[in-house]
Every structure is written in C-alpha cells, then in structure tokens.
Amino acid sequence: MVVVIKKGEASDKIEKKLKKIFDKTIEDRKARFEKFPGVIKLDEDAVVMQRRWRGEW
C-alpha cells in the first residue's frame, strides 16, 4: 500500500492516512494468524531443532 503525503498537507489528513495504514496492517496480521489456532505439538526440543536448522546453512 502506498500513501502519498504532500508537503504542507494538513495534519488531520496525515493522521487519517496513517491510521488507515496501521489499521490495515493490524487486520492483515489478525487474518494470517487466525488460520492457525492452538498449540504446535513438537516431537523434539525446540532448541535442538533450532540448532539443527541453523547448522544446515
């Protein structure tokens, strides 16, 4: 999303544009994570998995 703020634009208009951006990003985040409710079940320790994955590079 691109929002153009021109030099000399009224502060209330700028506030509305910024609010629109932040509201949109919060809605996107909620929509992404609502797909995955619950807790992840792991077969091994998370730290061990992380070290193994980092070692693959």
The reported pLDDT for the residue numbered 55 is 85
10-42: per-residue pLDDT in tens? 998 888 888 887 777 766 766 666 666 777 788
35-39, 42-46, 52-56: which has the minimum mean pLDDT?
35-39
The reported pLDDT for the residue numbered 47 is 92
Q: What is the mean pLDDT of residues 31-55?
A: 81
Q: Vertex 12, ends 8 and 16: CA angle to 5°?
A: 110
The pTM (predicted TM-score) of the whole model is 0.41
Distance CA 57, CA 52 (A): 10
DSSP, residue by residue, 1-57: ------TT--HHHHHHHHHHHHHHHHHHHHHHHTTS-S----SS-HHHHHHHHHHT-
